[in-house]
């Protein structure tokens, strides 16, 4: 099955620090999607990337997709306690219909 490797598994940062989460696929992707989940709750859609080299930003969060469409990063600038949660990347491969997810990155922001 399609695998998405996410790193790091967990991250503890001081408020105000920048951080990056990575997501790597073994196959070329049709689309790469970033989600945030509060513990035990539903997933909230953050951003979608579909073109090689694409970069999108929303408030202090920037997501990029590499030219080969196999690797993505999520960067948070000047982290705040409200950024805490689990970040998951999800993807649809170029071939196939299944929507896969990485295992998630747990982010803790210390005030």
Partner 1 sequence: EAQVTQNPRYLITVTGKKLTVTCSQNMNHEYMSWYRQDPGLGLRQIYYSMNVEVTDKGDVPEGYKVSRKEKRNFPLILESPSPNQTSLYFCASGGVGGPLHFGNGTRLTVT
Contact 79, 16 (CB under 8 A): yes
CA distance 76 to 59: 9
Interface residue with partner 1, options 13, 60, 75, 101 (CB under 8 A): 101
- List binders of partner 1 among 3-62 (CB under 8 A): 30-31, 33, 35, 40-45, 48, 50
| Phi, psi (deg, nearest 5) at residue 34 | -110, 135
Site for partner 1 contains 68 (CB under 8 A): no
Residue of 14, 59, 97, 111 that binds partner 1 (CB under 8 A): 97
Residue count at the site for partner 1 (CB under 8 A)?
23
DSSP 8-state symbol, 19: E
């Amino acid at each position: 099955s399609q695998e998405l490797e996410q790193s790091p598994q967990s991250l503890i940062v001081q408020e105000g620090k920048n951080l990056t989460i990575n997501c790597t696929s073994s196959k070329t992707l049709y689309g790469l999607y970033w989600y945030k989940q509060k513990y035990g709750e539903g997933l909230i859609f953050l951003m979608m990337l579909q073109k090689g080299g694409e970069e999108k930003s929303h408030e202090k969060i920037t997501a990029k997709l590499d030219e080969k469409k196999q690797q993505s990063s999520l960067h948070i600038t000047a982290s705040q306690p409200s950024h805490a949660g689990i970040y998951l990347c999800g993807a649809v491969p170029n071939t196939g219909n299944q929507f896969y997810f990485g295992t998630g990155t747990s982010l803790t922001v210390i005030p």
